[in-house]
Structure 1
Amino acid sequence: MDPDLSKLDGFLNEVDVDGYLIEADGDAADQRYLSGFTAPDPFVTLYTGETHLLVSALEYGRAKRTARAETVERHADYDHRSNVAEYGSHEGKYRTLAAFFDAHGAGSVAVPADFPIGTADGLRRCDVAVQADIDGVLGEIRARKHAEEVEHIRAAQRANESAMARAEKLLAAAETVDGTLSLDDEPLTAERVKREIEIELLRNDCALDETIVACGADAADPHDRGSGPLRPDEAIIVDIFPCSKETGYYADMTRTFCVGEPSDTIERWYDLTLEAQTAALDAIEAGVSASDVHDAVCDVYEAAGLPTLRADETTETGFIHTTGHGVGLDIHEYPRISEEPIELEAGNVVTVEPGLYDPAVGGVRIEDLVVVTEDGHENLTEYPKALAVESR
């Protein structure tokens, strides 16, 4: 994939700098997107209308073969060893970088807002002007996905659904013993379900650092990862957000399950949340404000007499988060589906995940992953929505 960087060119002209600089490892989404390269240690990407990489000798051969860059160079090409010997490791590094910039006509650069301050200060001492890109132009560029990126996300979502099916199968096979769920004569714990989710994802070349399997009061905290034995008759939130080991693209999906008989409140909350999600999905299309999508969710909940942050920014129960977020090389990226009036564009990939929470009741959340289109959306999520678990 060759990204369209015309917006980055326009940004450089607007702020009157020669280039855009990233110093980060390949896990940083902007770095991977701009360079087309990954490495476990930080390396330098300079964009001046063309993309130039400066890497260690260790990464040089692989970067020459695989990076999406016009030039790939080594520290040794800029007398790095001599610079370190004369100026020390830190100042020598900055001298090497300054020489690299000079070779590519970059006396001034813009950098991401989270750029290392030590490097920025060191470059300024070498007469390189550095200014922060506080608006995140690359994040905005990455938000509009190419068809190839959408396919990468779709593939990660299929793996995600396989893992969700594994989790639901465990729940469906469980029995109630002394007030908790049991499987194969052992307690069915959140940790056990999460382990099986991770194993299933690995079978599909995906991985994740953590996932959410939260039951009862744990599920009332949207980001509580969940722990301990799972219980019947209570809502169990399963939120899985894996990353493809090959492409680096994420997927994201949440389902809420109940083994046994849910309370009337949980059933009502589930139906309302499904209604709220449908209202949000119906509102999505290119040109619509993300705030209108968020409002569609709040309208449903508030009409039912339930609290939202829109109505009361201090509420600790009810709908206590935004409606969604962008997904791509980061699990949370631009645009957010919130009160902020951001215009959605065709190619945005966003979650739609309304939910309700109260420690006295538990929590319910339903999350799909969709691509914004000119006249609506394409839902990348095929997994069914049902509160009662089903054998799969």
Structure 2
Amino acid sequence: MFEEPQKPARFDPRDPLGVDELLSGEDLAFRDAVRGWAGERVLPHITEWYERGELPVVRELARELGGLGALGMSLTGYGCAGATQIQYGLVCLELEAADSGIRSLVSVQGSLAMYAIHRYGSEEQKRRWLPAMAAGEVIGCFGLTEPDHGSDPAGMRTHARRDGSDWVLTGRKMWITNGSVAGVAVIWARTDEGIRGFAVPTETPGFSAVDIPHKWSLRASVTSELVLDGVRLPADAVLPGAVGLRAPLSCLSHARYGIVWGSMGAARSSFAAALEYARTREQFGRPIGGFQLTQAKLADMAVELHKGILLAHHLGVRMDAGRLLPEQVSFGKLNNVREAIDICRTARTILGANGISLEYPVMRHAANLESVLTYEGTVEMHQLVLGKALTGLDAFR
């Protein structure tokens, strides 16, 4: 039977490794829907929001993201989309290409708060919270980090004590995304039984949240301090499946996977701005993209960007197969965020003085990534995770 010859492949500057060929039609539909939404709802306003240091329409955006199926999208049941991890990763990439703060909103909602309830909560808790959270009608936050305990959550001071059939929570949590707009907070506290998780309705007396001012990164994101002053909860507020530190750490591993993809979105946006600028900015009588040093920068940026996307895709395939290890998540988070920052910094040099202007996205992405670099595990913590895995020796203590 005669077969028509295939058309020769062509190099695509937007996808030089042909990663799109690995994606299904449904993958592309998720990606393109979120890319279109971000282009219409976020990009026209993000410079103003970032400059003002606020996200004034966070509740509206949450409902719209819920309508897209982007909240808790890889979870099943309870109104969640039941999407693949590849699809979730692509959504994180597109959201962070707009701004890290928007991706953080989705990551904390779905991969931390909703994931904790979905994996460790009771059936009653799942039915109470997850459908409304999937729709964006209720925003969630995740309270693990404390003012004096970030990389060492085992040292947390927030505690919960039994009082009859109730629990009483006291403590503080710091650097909590979505804190002041959340309707439910997943709070981790020390108890006589070990570390436990609690689904805390934020209108409960004794619970308060105050936004953290003077941020120079993640400015278009709600970041709060939580105070729990004798918060009394019924017995059914505790997440029954979560006992010990492994529970919150498993949630963090799920969220870090989204960062592996998301950081490449910030890098892609900065690279695209630098590439377009290099094609049109003229010096010495021709576009600067025609000079060897500029081309070397663009080539190196493209190599690291698309290697990072390919790494993210590989980890997504493993996660969908149930074979992704925490050490592999550390591998991806460590590499991709570091490379994303380097891409942003190199892009800034191509733009010259214009690179520091909010007219271009580069400096905004670079500043945001300084937070992404250290939240949900600092560079040093992920290096030590890999160091332990490689040597079999624990260097944490």
In the superposition, the TM-score normalised over structure 1's length comes to 0.25
Larger RCO: 1 or 2 (CA < 8 Å, sep 6+)? 2
In the superposition, the TM-score normalised over structure 2's length comes to 0.25
Larger Rg: 1
